[in-house]
A and B are shown apart, each in its own frame.
Chain A
Amino acid sequence: MIDIEKEAARVAEQGESAPRLARDPVNLPMIRNWLEALGDEHPGYTEVAPPAMVQVWTMAGLRGQRSPDDPLGQMMAILDEAGYTSVVATNSDQTYHRYLGVGEQLSVTTSLEDVTGPKRTGLGEGWFVTTRSTWWVGDEAVAEMRFRVLKFKPARKPEPRRREPGAQAIRPSVNRDTEYFWEGTRQGELRIQRCGGCGLLRHPPGPMCPECGATKPTYLVSDGYGVVYSYVVHHHPQVPGKQTPFVIALVELDEGVRMLGELDGEPSIGQRVEVVFTEIDDELTMPSWRPRADR
């Protein structure tokens, strides 16, 4: 088991990485390529570079490799090893102390500022890693950047199972309030309605927030884990497409709301379950529960 906080403290203690030189001095051909690609017709960039290009000068390039003392690279390796294998950038805050003139030679140093986690996010559980880079001309700091990434374990998306041809199901009534939910199941996502006003999670879906009255629902993608809160075993009457008896469980999701669905397996209160998606046809994918082998 890797102690991520301890490892982060070790990397942070190393302080600034050694300065890494830009491949080329600030130069007009690169500036003009950038202006052309972005369609920027600003007339002022003939002797100075657009400030937002600062990071461009020190990009590692096509065959570039991180230097071993790069704190972001080190932290990524540590989190990879701990199972947080995916990465997404979340923030880039750049401050430009002055404009850079053509011919100036830049270098960059980076230190690890902060590592926080584990946090639950829409993408999965992860750690936020914040670094601070400084660009230098000689010993003058000319620009700075605080850069934050989320390094995460991707939320599990089970592959939909396709049913035997001719399978039947009682079709849900889909309307404007519930469309997002069924769209989600088609994509392998269990979506929970979330108030666009106060953020309250609620299920089953409805047009108005019972808490604040807002009528702009959004949604959160659930991790799909929960515990059986209650259940019934259905014996009678017959239901199209089902063999009786079957179990309908009310599951309390880890996100806090309760949701109904068929449970495949022996039911018991408090049992850990996870969502599974069954594709009925192109239009309809049904969520149901199965016991979860807890890690």
Chain B
Amino acid sequence: MRIGDPLPEWHVEATPTFVISTALATRDFQDVHHDRDLAVRRGSKDIFINILTTTGLVQRYVTDWAGPEALVRQVNIKLGAPCFAHDTLKFFGQVVGREQQDLTIEVVGRTAHGDHVTGTVRIEVPAWTP
């Protein structure tokens, strides 16, 4: 795990079921995350993923790559275009910093409408990590 190492590209299919089940699993009951009619009436094109899920996906993207021994210390994200139901959310990432066991990974999650999320994740890896 060295500076410049890319993370494998990862695609999330944001089906309506995914948008709704993740919103409820994060205890976010705002109608724009589960009721399409109301979301459209409020000016959205469809229901969309909530922030706590975006945070969780960013974390998962990094831990899927780093392995279960990695400890997540920080998730800093900037939110952009909404990720609507039926969008494909594509994640890209790269190691941008390493100080011994502390790694900083830059992450972008993108849909066809633009960047949904950009940010950095700080993790701590075991001492024996190459």
Contact = CB atoms under 8 A, between A and B. Distances in A.
B60 A93 contact: no
Range of interface residues on A (Cβ < 8 Å): 20 to 34
Range, interface on chain B = 20 to 34
Contact of B60 (A42, A43, A90, A154): A42
A38 B27 contact: no
Contact of B72 (A37, A43, A96): A96
A42 B63 contact: yes
A56 B25 CA distance: 8
B56 A50 contact: yes
A50 B57 CA distance: 11
Most chain-A CB neighbours within 10 Å: which of B28, B55, B68? B55
B72 A52 contact: yes
A95 B52 CA distance: 14
Given A34-B25, A59-B26, A59-B28, A95 B60 contact: no
Contacts of A39: 60
A62 interface: yes
Interface in B53-68: 53, 55-60, 63-64, 68
A92 interface: yes
A51 B73 CA distance: 8
Contacts of B60: 38-40, 42
A90 B75 contact: no
A256 to B, nearest CB: 23
Given A61-B29, A91-B78, A93-B77, A38 B55 contact: no
Interface of A: 30, 33-34, 36-40, 42-44, 50-53, 55-56, 59, 61-62, 88-96, 99, 154
Interface of B: 18, 21-22, 24-29, 43, 51-53, 55-60, 63-64, 68, 71-79
Top 7 closest A-B pairs, CB basis? A37-B25, A59-B27, A52-B59, A93-B76, A37-B21, A62-B29, A37-B22
